[in-house]
Amino acid sequence: MACNVVIVDYGTGNLSSVERSLARLGAEFLVSSRAADIDRCEKLILAGVGHFGRAMEGLRKNGLIEPLEKAVLIDRKPVLGICLGMELMARSSEEGNVEGLGWLDANVVKFSVLDKVRYKVPHIGWNRVGVKKASRLMDNIPASAEFYFLHSYHLELGDRSILLNDSRHEEVFTAAVEKENIYGVQYHPEKSHRVGLQLLKNFVDL
Protein backbone atom coordinates (compact mmCIF):
# COMPACT_ATOMS: atom_id res chain seq x y z
CA MET A 1 0.00 0.00 0.00
CA ALA A 2 1.40 3.41 -0.99
CA CYS A 3 2.05 6.02 1.67
CA ASN A 4 2.27 9.76 1.11
CA VAL A 5 5.30 10.44 3.34
CA VAL A 6 7.95 8.17 4.84
CA ILE A 7 10.02 9.50 7.73
CA VAL A 8 13.26 7.61 7.23
CA ASP A 9 14.46 5.90 10.41
CA TYR A 10 18.25 5.63 10.30
CA GLY A 11 18.82 5.32 14.03
CA THR A 12 18.78 8.95 15.20
CA GLY A 13 16.58 10.69 17.74
CA ASN A 14 13.85 13.34 17.52
CA LEU A 15 11.65 11.57 14.97
CA SER A 16 8.70 11.65 17.36
CA SER A 17 8.42 15.45 17.11
CA VAL A 18 8.13 15.20 13.34
CA GLU A 19 5.57 12.41 13.71
CA ARG A 20 3.41 14.54 16.02
CA SER A 21 3.53 17.48 13.63
CA LEU A 22 2.48 15.38 10.63
CA ALA A 23 -0.29 13.81 12.72
CA ARG A 24 -1.57 17.30 13.57
CA LEU A 25 -1.71 18.03 9.86
CA GLY A 26 -3.68 14.85 9.19
CA ALA A 27 -0.96 13.63 6.85
CA GLU A 28 -0.67 10.00 5.82
CA PHE A 29 2.82 8.99 6.94
CA LEU A 30 4.96 6.09 8.07
CA VAL A 31 8.22 5.84 10.01
CA SER A 32 10.34 3.16 8.36
CA SER A 33 13.84 1.91 7.62
CA ARG A 34 12.60 -0.52 4.95
CA ALA A 35 13.67 -0.08 1.34
CA ALA A 36 10.27 -1.31 0.17
CA ASP A 37 8.50 1.53 2.00
CA ILE A 38 10.90 4.08 0.54
CA ASP A 39 10.14 2.70 -2.91
CA ARG A 40 6.35 2.90 -2.41
CA CYS A 41 6.08 6.32 -0.80
CA GLU A 42 5.49 9.62 -2.59
CA LYS A 43 7.74 11.83 -0.43
CA LEU A 44 10.55 11.39 2.08
CA ILE A 45 11.68 13.18 5.22
CA LEU A 46 15.21 12.81 6.61
CA ALA A 47 15.04 14.16 10.15
CA GLY A 48 16.91 13.59 13.37
CA VAL A 49 19.65 15.00 15.54
CA GLY A 50 23.06 13.55 16.29
CA HIS A 51 26.55 13.01 14.89
CA PHE A 52 27.08 13.18 11.12
CA GLY A 53 29.50 10.23 10.95
CA ARG A 54 27.29 7.97 13.04
CA ALA A 55 24.24 8.96 11.01
CA MET A 56 25.97 8.01 7.74
CA GLU A 57 27.00 4.72 9.33
CA GLY A 58 23.36 4.15 10.32
CA LEU A 59 22.26 4.69 6.73
CA ARG A 60 24.87 2.20 5.51
CA LYS A 61 24.10 -0.45 8.15
CA ASN A 62 20.40 -0.29 7.35
CA GLY A 63 21.05 -0.58 3.61
CA LEU A 64 19.32 2.74 2.97
CA ILE A 65 21.77 4.64 0.77
CA GLU A 66 20.94 2.91 -2.52
CA PRO A 67 17.13 2.99 -1.98
CA LEU A 68 17.34 6.68 -1.08
CA GLU A 69 19.48 7.48 -4.11
CA LYS A 70 17.01 5.69 -6.38
CA ALA A 71 14.03 7.47 -4.83
CA VAL A 72 15.56 10.95 -4.86
CA LEU A 73 17.95 11.02 -7.83
CA ILE A 74 16.19 8.65 -10.26
CA ASP A 75 12.51 8.63 -9.30
CA ARG A 76 12.75 12.33 -8.35
CA LYS A 77 10.61 12.03 -5.24
CA PRO A 78 10.48 15.18 -3.09
CA VAL A 79 12.69 14.87 -0.01
CA LEU A 80 12.91 17.20 2.98
CA GLY A 81 16.04 17.11 5.12
CA ILE A 82 15.68 18.61 8.60
CA CYS A 83 18.81 19.79 10.46
CA LEU A 84 21.15 16.75 10.44
CA GLY A 85 19.00 15.31 7.64
CA MET A 86 19.85 18.28 5.45
CA GLU A 87 23.54 18.11 6.40
CA LEU A 88 23.67 14.47 5.27
CA MET A 89 22.80 15.62 1.74
CA ALA A 90 26.13 17.47 1.46
CA ARG A 91 29.39 16.15 0.03
CA SER A 92 31.19 15.93 3.38
CA SER A 93 31.25 17.13 6.97
CA GLU A 94 33.86 18.31 9.42
CA GLU A 95 31.92 16.33 12.03
CA GLY A 96 33.62 12.95 11.73
CA ASN A 97 35.46 13.96 8.54
CA VAL A 98 33.34 11.62 6.44
CA GLU A 99 31.59 11.81 3.08
CA GLY A 100 27.88 12.53 2.90
CA LEU A 101 25.26 11.55 0.35
CA GLY A 102 26.60 14.11 -2.12
CA TRP A 103 23.23 15.32 -3.39
CA LEU A 104 24.17 18.97 -2.83
CA ASP A 105 27.23 20.95 -3.85
CA ALA A 106 27.98 21.86 -0.24
CA ASN A 107 30.12 20.89 2.73
CA VAL A 108 29.22 20.92 6.41
CA VAL A 109 31.38 23.14 8.62
CA LYS A 110 31.31 24.02 12.31
CA PHE A 111 30.43 27.52 13.47
CA SER A 112 33.52 29.58 14.15
CA VAL A 113 32.51 32.62 16.20
CA LEU A 114 34.71 35.45 17.42
CA ASP A 115 32.36 36.90 20.05
CA LYS A 116 31.99 33.81 22.22
CA VAL A 117 30.11 35.73 24.91
CA ARG A 118 27.27 36.81 22.65
CA TYR A 119 27.26 33.92 20.18
CA LYS A 120 27.26 30.41 21.64
CA VAL A 121 27.92 27.12 19.90
CA PRO A 122 25.70 25.17 19.58
CA HIS A 123 23.38 27.83 18.23
CA ILE A 124 20.09 27.35 20.08
CA GLY A 125 16.93 29.40 19.79
CA TRP A 126 14.68 31.40 17.50
CA ASN A 127 16.16 33.18 14.50
CA ARG A 128 14.64 35.20 11.70
CA VAL A 129 15.21 33.78 8.23
CA GLY A 130 15.38 35.59 4.92
CA VAL A 131 13.76 34.09 1.83
CA LYS A 132 16.19 34.25 -1.08
CA LYS A 133 14.02 32.86 -3.89
CA ALA A 134 10.44 31.86 -4.63
CA SER A 135 9.50 28.40 -3.41
CA ARG A 136 6.34 26.42 -2.76
CA LEU A 137 7.96 25.35 0.50
CA MET A 138 7.59 28.94 1.75
CA ASP A 139 3.95 29.47 0.69
CA ASN A 140 1.89 31.36 3.29
CA ILE A 141 4.91 31.92 5.52
CA PRO A 142 5.44 35.60 6.44
CA ALA A 143 8.56 37.39 5.25
CA SER A 144 11.28 37.30 7.91
CA ALA A 145 9.51 34.55 9.86
CA GLU A 146 11.33 33.10 12.86
CA PHE A 147 12.19 29.40 13.17
CA TYR A 148 13.76 27.36 15.97
CA PHE A 149 17.39 26.27 15.55
CA LEU A 150 19.56 23.77 17.41
CA HIS A 151 22.89 23.08 15.67
CA SER A 152 26.65 23.48 15.80
CA TYR A 153 27.27 22.94 12.07
CA HIS A 154 25.91 24.52 8.90
CA LEU A 155 26.20 24.19 5.13
CA GLU A 156 28.90 26.01 3.20
CA LEU A 157 27.52 26.17 -0.33
CA GLY A 158 29.50 25.61 -3.49
CA ASP A 159 26.39 26.34 -5.57
CA ARG A 160 24.71 29.52 -4.29
CA SER A 161 21.74 29.04 -6.63
CA ILE A 162 20.29 26.43 -4.24
CA LEU A 163 20.09 28.90 -1.32
CA LEU A 164 16.48 29.21 -0.13
CA ASN A 165 16.81 30.81 3.34
CA ASP A 166 19.64 32.45 5.17
CA SER A 167 19.96 33.57 8.77
CA ARG A 168 22.60 35.06 11.05
CA HIS A 169 24.61 33.80 14.01
CA GLU A 170 27.36 36.42 14.12
CA GLU A 171 27.85 35.71 10.39
CA VAL A 172 25.22 34.94 7.77
CA PHE A 173 24.73 31.20 7.27
CA THR A 174 22.64 28.89 5.11
CA ALA A 175 19.30 28.15 6.76
CA ALA A 176 17.55 26.28 3.93
CA VAL A 177 18.20 25.01 0.41
CA GLU A 178 16.17 23.91 -2.58
CA LYS A 179 17.50 22.00 -5.58
CA GLU A 180 14.74 20.66 -7.83
CA ASN A 181 13.06 17.91 -5.73
CA ILE A 182 15.55 18.24 -2.87
CA TYR A 183 14.67 20.50 0.06
CA GLY A 184 16.62 21.03 3.26
CA VAL A 185 16.16 23.19 6.35
CA GLN A 186 18.73 23.73 9.09
CA TYR A 187 16.01 24.80 11.51
CA HIS A 188 13.39 22.54 13.09
CA PRO A 189 9.92 23.15 11.61
CA GLU A 190 8.50 20.52 13.98
CA LYS A 191 9.49 22.81 16.88
CA SER A 192 8.64 26.11 15.19
CA HIS A 193 4.94 26.38 16.05
CA ARG A 194 2.59 27.79 13.41
CA VAL A 195 5.16 28.69 10.74
CA GLY A 196 6.82 25.30 11.11
CA LEU A 197 3.53 23.49 10.66
CA GLN A 198 2.84 25.59 7.58
CA LEU A 199 6.18 24.61 6.09
CA LEU A 200 5.55 20.93 6.73
CA LYS A 201 2.07 21.29 5.22
CA ASN A 202 3.60 22.91 2.14
CA PHE A 203 5.94 19.95 1.76
CA VAL A 204 3.19 17.37 2.23
CA ASP A 205 1.07 19.20 -0.36
CA LEU A 206 3.79 19.36 -3.04
> What are the backbone dihedrals phi and psi of residue 49, each rounded to the nearest 5 degrees, phi first?
-130, 160
- 32 closest CA partner among 73, 78, 68, 86: 68
- The one-letter code for the residue type at 73 is L
SS3 36: helix
SS3 44: strand
* Contact indicator for 71, 38 with CB cutoff of 8 Å: yes
- 174 closest CA partner among 158, 190, 189: 158
SS3 178: strand
- The one-letter code for the residue type at 47 is A
* Contact indicator for 54, 20 with CB cutoff of 8 Å: no
The DSSP call for residue 134 is -
SS3 150: strand
* Contact indicator for 137, 164 with CB cutoff of 8 Å: yes
Active site residues: 83, 188, 190
